[in-house]
Each structure stands twice: as C-alpha cells, then as structure tokens.
C-alpha cells in the first residue's frame, strides 16, 4: 500500500509537469500535496507503533486519496488530463483506497 502510494505520487509529479504554468501554485500544488500525503501518513502511522495511531493515520491517508480523486476529476474537466492518463491514475488511487479501507477495517 505504501509502495503504491509512492508510485501514485511519482505519477502525479510527472503529469503535473504538463499542466498550465498558471496552475503551478493552484491545482498542481494541491495534487502534489495530496499525493505525497498518502504514503507519508501511511509511513508515519506505521512508525508510531500504536494500533490506534496507525488507524488514525491510515484514515488521514484515505482522506488524502479522496481529495486527490476530486482534484483529478477537476483536472480532467479542465482538459489538463486526457482520458487515458486520468483512467490510469484514478484506477491506481481507487486501488489504494480499497487497500486503506481494508486495513482500517481490519484494525477495528
């Protein structure tokens, strides 16, 4: 799950290079922040050595996934992403979404 989060973040950094320059401090920045937040929160939660903390940080990561998915939809609607790239990235984000949800459920 952490590895897939790293991959997702890497893909976000690659695709946002093609975004309009005026989006550098807008949508581009938001996409990067939310994507980096996913594996970062997974790692931080794991490192806390507490089941409750791990679950809390996984929930934060899950929130970042939903934030990222919303930003991807907006990017697609603004024609910053083509259908193929959008589908590839949204699919990866949904896979991470399912993994996080399953792990949170297991920790309950």
**76: its two tokens:** 């697609």
- Euclidean distance between CA atoms 96 and 90, whole angstroms: 10
pLDDT at 76 over 90: yes
- Euclidean distance between CA atoms 70 and 75, whole angstroms: 9
Whole-model pTM?
0.94
pLDDT at 19: 96
Pick the CATH number of 2-107 from 1.20.1440.60, 3.40.50.10890, 3.90.1200.10, 1.10.3720.10: 1.20.1440.60
pLDDT at 51: 95
pLDDT digits (tens, 9 = 90+) for 38-62: 999 999 999 998 999 999 999 999 9
pLDDT at 25 over 90: no
pLDDT at 93 over 90: yes
pLDDT at 24 over 90: no
Q: Are 81 and 98 in contact (CB under 8 A)?
A: no
When the pLDDT of each residue in the chain is averaged and rounded to a whole number, the result is 96
- Euclidean distance between CA atoms 15 and 11, whole angstroms: 6
pLDDT at 49: 87
- Euclidean distance between CA atoms 27 and 20, whole angstroms: 10
């Amino acid at each position: 799950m952490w590895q897939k989060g790293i991959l997702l973040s890497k893909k976000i950094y690659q695709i946002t290079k093609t975004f309009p320059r005026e989006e550098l401090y807008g949508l581009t920045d938001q996409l990067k922040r939310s994507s980096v937040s996913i594996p970062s929160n997974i790692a931080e939660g794991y490192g806390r050595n507490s089941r409750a903390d791990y679950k809390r940080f996984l929930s934060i990561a899950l929130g970042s996934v939903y934030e990222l998915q919303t930003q991807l939809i907006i990017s697609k609607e603004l024609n910053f992403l083509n259908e193929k790239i959008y589908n590839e990235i949204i699919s990866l984000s949904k896979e991470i979404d399912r993994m996080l949800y399953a792990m949170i459920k297991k920790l309950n």
